[in-house]
Structure 1
Amino acid sequence: MINKETISEWRDNVIENLNFATFDFLLKDIEKENPTFTPKFVKTAIKNIFYALTPEKYYNWITKYNIPNKTHSLGIICAGNVPAVSFFDVFMGLVTNHEVYVKLSHSDTKLIPYLFEQLFNFIPEMRDRIKFVESIHSVKAEKIIATGSNNANRYFLQYFADKKAVLRHDRKSIAVINHDITENELNALADDIFLYFGLGCRNVSLILLPHEFSLNKINAAFKHYSWISDNLYYKEIINYYRAYFSLMFEDFIDNDFYLLRERLDLYSPISVINYAYYNDISQVENFIKANKENLQCIVGNYSLCNTTFGKTQKPELSDYPDGVDIMRFLTES
C-alpha cells in the first residue's frame, strides 16, 4: 500500500510541475495528439484527479479494503475521450498489488504515463509493476477492466467472456433543474456541460426543466464559457451542426457558443445541449428508470440525484464509474 506521505509528495510535485516550462512542452505534444485535450482542460483534469487524491481522502478510502499480499495480473483497456480518464483504474490496480498491463487509447498516450512516472520517482520499485502494451490480448491477465464505446463493448463481452471483468460502455449524464435553483448552481452546471467539450460520460448532455423555466437564465449562467468557441476544433463542429439543423429544418436555439435543442434524448453531439420540460417529478423518475443502464450522473437537488451541481468532473475516489466498486472487484478472489 502506498503511504500517505508518498501520496502527499506525489500530489505536490505534480501540481507544482503544472507551472514549469517543461510541462508546457508536454502540453503541446498532448494537444497535437488530440486537439480536444487543450492545455486548459489537461490542467483541469490533473487538478480534479488530485482534488480526490489528498492524503486524508486516500487514507480514509484505502483503509476500508483488505489489500491482498499476493500479486495478481490486471489488464486495462483505457478510454481516450477525457484527459487521463482511466487514471484511477490504473492507480487502483497498483495499490491493490496487481501487475498492471495498460493498453492506452491512441488519443491519450502521454498523460497517464507522465503522471505515474512522477509517482515512481518516489517509489521506484513500483515501476516494474506497470507495463504499457500494444494489445491486452498479448498478455495473460487474470482480471480485465475495459472501457469503450457501445460497439467496442460488444466486442469486449465476446472476447473476455471467460475472464473476471468490468466492461464499460457509453453512458451520459443529465441535470434536473427545479425553480429553486440558484445562480451559483447554474454557473456550476456549466462545468458539468462544457468541461472537456462535453465528451465525458460524466458530462451533462440533457437538461430537464420544470415548465415555464426561463431559458434566458441558462444562457446568462453559461456565458463564462463563451471562450470555448475560440477553439478551432469546437468552432468547426458547432458550425457544422448549425448548417445541418438548418438544412434538416430542425428547430434549435443558437446561443452563439452552443446550441439548445428541445429533445428528450441522452445523446447529443459536441456543442449541442438537449433539453426537455417536465410537469411532475414522477416523469423524471420514470425517465431515469427507463434509462438506468445508460446514465452515469444525475445532477440536481432532488433525492433521486446522485451528484451536486459542478461536481460531475470532480469525482471522489469512491465515485466508481457505473456504480461498480472497482476496489472490491480487485481485492476479492
Structure 2
Amino acid sequence: MPTTYTVLSEGLEKRYGEVHALRGLDLAVAEGTVCGVLGPNGAGKTTAVRVLTTLTAPDGGSARIAGHDVVREAGAVRAAIGVTGQSASVDGELSGRQNLRLFAKLLKFRGEAVRSRTDDLLERFELADAADRPARTYSGGMRRRLDLAASLLARPHVLFLDEPTTGLDPHSRNQIWTAVRELAGAGTTVLLTTQYLEEADQLADDIVLVDSGRAAHRGTPAELKAQIGSYAEVVVGHPSALVAAAAVLDRLTGAEPVLDHERRTVGVVASDPTLTLPRIVRELDAAGAAVIDASLRPPTLDEVFLRLTGRDTGRTVPPTKEMAT
C-alpha cells in the first residue's frame, strides 16, 4: 500500500536578502506520524515552518499540506492545520476560557459548540481549575498548554509545533509530550521542530536533520544512531590521565576523542562493532590511565547531532544514500 504523505516539500528555497535560509529543502511526513525536524540555530527550521504554514511564500520549489499547495491553495492549507509557534499567542488580559472561546468564534464555532469544545480542551490540558484566571497569571507551562489547546480547537489534520517546550520545566515538558503522543495516536500528523534532542528521541517516528537549509540526514532515531556506531566514555581518576586515555581511545577507534576536563571524561564514537568494553579497559590499564568508570553504549541523539553536523570535531559526516533526502 503506497505511503500517504501529509506534508510534502520538494526543493524549497527561501532568501532574506543575502541570507539563503532554505536551499532546496525536501520533506516527506507520512500521515499520522510525528516528524522531528532538528538542526543548529540558523539551519532553516523556523523558515520551513513559516513556508509550510503559508506565513511566508517560498522563492522556489513546492510544498503540499494534506494535498493542498501552500501557495495556490493557501486557504485550504490553513483550514487543515494547527500551529503552535515559539511564543505563546494567547492574550494575557483574557482568562484561559475567554481566550479559547475567542479563538473558537474566529474559527466560526457557534452556540453550544463554543462552550463544549472550550471546556473539553481546558479539561484535557489540565487548565479547568485556572480557566477563569487571566492568562498573564499562568506559569510558562500553563501558557504553552493553553496555546496548544487553541491550536487544536478545529481538530487540525496537521499540527506544526515550533519549539513547543522551550523554557519549560521538566514537568510541564512531560505534559506537552503526553499531549503530542495522544494526538499522534488519534491520527494527527505532527511536524515538530525542537532544540531538545531528547524530545525528538521520545516523540518522533522519523527525524530530519536540517543543516544550511537542506535536509542532510533522515531516519528513525535508531537508524540515525546506528549510522555513527556506539559511544565509549571513560572517567579518569585524575586530570593528568586524560591525555593518555584519549590516546588509547583514538588508537582503538580511529576517531577523535572529546575531552571534558571538568568532568574528567573522555568520549569517542566507536564505529567498530567488534570493540568491547573489556578490551577498552585492558588497553587503558596497560597505558597507565587510571580509570574509575567506563561505558560502551548506544549514542544519544545529542551525540548523533554533534557528529552528523560536525559540531563535535569540526568535521561533518556526509549523508548516506539511504538517509539523505
* Shorter-chain TM-score tier: under 0.3
Which is higher, the Rg of structure 1 or of structure 2?
2
Structure whose residues are more often strand by fraction: 2
| TM-score of the superposed pair, with normalisation by structure 1 | 0.24
| TM-score of the superposed pair, with normalisation by structure 2 | 0.25
